[in-house]
């Protein structure tokens, strides 16, 4: 009885092996004018760096965290930017005080001009009655003109003082902007890949703090021979099949290299690595990449399929088939 079951088991295993072999051969036969190349899923990396030098006070995220646009990532401190804000605030206060003094001067000069005008009007009336001399009338006319000139000068001083306030405000906003930039924020949605800086580190201008992965820019690099490359162009359709995932992702050729290179170690066999190949970028559509961002992880092994024969048709097993569910 045991021998019978053993023979039956061997037969089933053999039948399964034959079925798998036949299925693989059938799929291979269907790939007429289509090439499949191994690769790894990649996401565009964004290096988040400092705008100004400072000390890292706090890192607000962890590796692997999902972040949103404008989310705070890290906080730096700098006595230089803080002192610039304080100096700009003091400068603005002085400028505002200058405006107040200039306005007070205008008011004083205007009062003096009003008095001079009354005296002049009175002198004109008295002159008609021959009660004052021509020289007295001329003196009062000159005095009135002088007070008007003083008012104009004071008004110009007000305008200049207000310009000083505007300049001080601009300097304050610039200093505050520099100080605000010490709080580093995410430029867009993404995943934290690596934390490069730690609390206590002193960073220079442009030093990296961390790196983000952009889920909207997901792609697979494949390598084609020169003959295959000559038959494809940017904009052509492609397919990506992830290892272990029952799905076929749509893709599009968005880049073809003009210079040949040896393929990376993780892409092809030793025989293939000895050949000069051309890199071709297969880009997953942004909306699909976003929908399945939790599935499409950098480093996942996959096969990219490209049609190097424009007359070739996608076989049934390479028709677009997206995973069920987004997780």
Residues 310 and 228 in one domain: yes
- Report residue 248 as tokens: 């076929």
Task: Give the chain's mean pLDDT.
Answer: 85
Q: What is the pLDDT of residues 234-282, one digit of tens each?
A: 999 999 999 989 999 999 999 999 887 876 665 555 555 557 889 999 9
Residues 147 and 284 in one domain: no
Residues 200 and 70 in one domain: yes
Confidence category of residue 67, pLDDT binned at 50, 70, 90: very high
Tell me the CATH number at 193: 2.40.50.100
Residues 88 and 220 in one domain: no
What is the extent of the structural domain holding 95? 80-180
Residues 152 and 219 in one domain: no
From 206, 192, 186, select the one nearest 61 (Cα to Cα). Answer: 192
Confidence category of residue 4, pLDDT binned at 50, 70, 90: low
Query: CA 153 → CA 106, 149, 193, distances in Å?
Result: 8, 6, 63
**214 three-class SS:** strand
Residues 231 and 171 in one domain: no
Residues 72 and 186 in one domain: yes
Residues 279 and 310 in one domain: yes
Residues paired with 302 in a beta bridge: 39, 242
In the chain, the percentage of residues whose pLDDT exceeds 70 is: 86
pTM beyond 0.75: no
- Name the domain count of the chain: 3
Assign residue 221 a region (left: φ > 0; alpha: ψ between -120 and 50; beta: otherwise): beta
- Report residue 48 as tokens: 């988040």
pLDDT recorded at residue 252? 96
Confidence category of residue 27, pLDDT binned at 50, 70, 90: very low
Residues 186 and 67 in one domain: yes
Establish if 26 belongs to a structural domain: no
Q: What is the pLDDT of residues 115-169, one digit of tens each?
A: 888 888 888 888 787 887 888 888 889 988 999 999 999 999 999 999 998 998 9
- Residue 10 φ/ψ, nearest 5 degrees: -60, -40
Residues 59 and 202 in one domain: yes
Tell me the CATH number at 244: 2.40.30.170
Alpha-carbon distance of 37 to 25, in angstroms, equals 17
Establish if 21 belongs to a structural domain: no
């Amino acid at each position: 009885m045991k021998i019978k079951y053993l023979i039956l088991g061997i037969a089933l295993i053999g039948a399964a092996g034959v079925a798998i072999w036949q299925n693989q051969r059938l799929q291979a036969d269907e790939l007429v004018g289509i090439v499949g190349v191994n690769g790894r899923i990649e996401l565009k990396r964004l290096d988040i760096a400092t705008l100004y030098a400072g000390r890292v006070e706090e890192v607000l995220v962890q590796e692997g965290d999902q972040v949103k646009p404008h989310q705070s990532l890290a906080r730096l401190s700098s006595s230089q930017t803080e002192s610039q804000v304080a100096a700009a605030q003091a400068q603005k206060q002085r400028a505002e005080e200058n405006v107040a003094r200039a306005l007070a001067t205008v008011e004083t000069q205007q009062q003096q001009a009003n008095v001079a005008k009354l005296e002049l009007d009175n002198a004109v009336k008295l002159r008609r009655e021959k009660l004052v001399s021509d020289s007295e009338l001329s003196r009062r006319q000159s005095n009135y003109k002088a007070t008007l000139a003083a008012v104009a000068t004071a008004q110009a001083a007000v305008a200049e003082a207000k310009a000083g306030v505007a300049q001080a405000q601009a300097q304050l906003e610039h200093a505050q902007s520099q100080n605000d930039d010490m709080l580093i924020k995410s430029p867009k949605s993404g995943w934290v890949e690596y934390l490069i800086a730690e609390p206590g580190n002193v960073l220079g201008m442009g030093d990296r703090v961390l790196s983000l992965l952009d889920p909207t820019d997901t792609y697979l690099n494949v390598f084609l021979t020169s003959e295959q490359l000559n038959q494809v162009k940017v904009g052509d359709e492609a397919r990506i099949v992830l290892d272990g995932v029952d799905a076929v992702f749509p893709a599009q050729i968005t880049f073809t290299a003009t210079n040949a290179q040896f393929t990376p170690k993780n892409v092809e066999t030793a025989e293939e690595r000895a050949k000069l190949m051309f890199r071709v970028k297969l880009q997953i559509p942004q909306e699909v990449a976003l929908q399945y961002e939790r599935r499409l992880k950098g480093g996942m092994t996959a096969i990219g399929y490209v049609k190097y024969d424009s007359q070739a048709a996608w076989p049934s097993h390479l028709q677009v088939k997206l995973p069920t569910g987004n997780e």
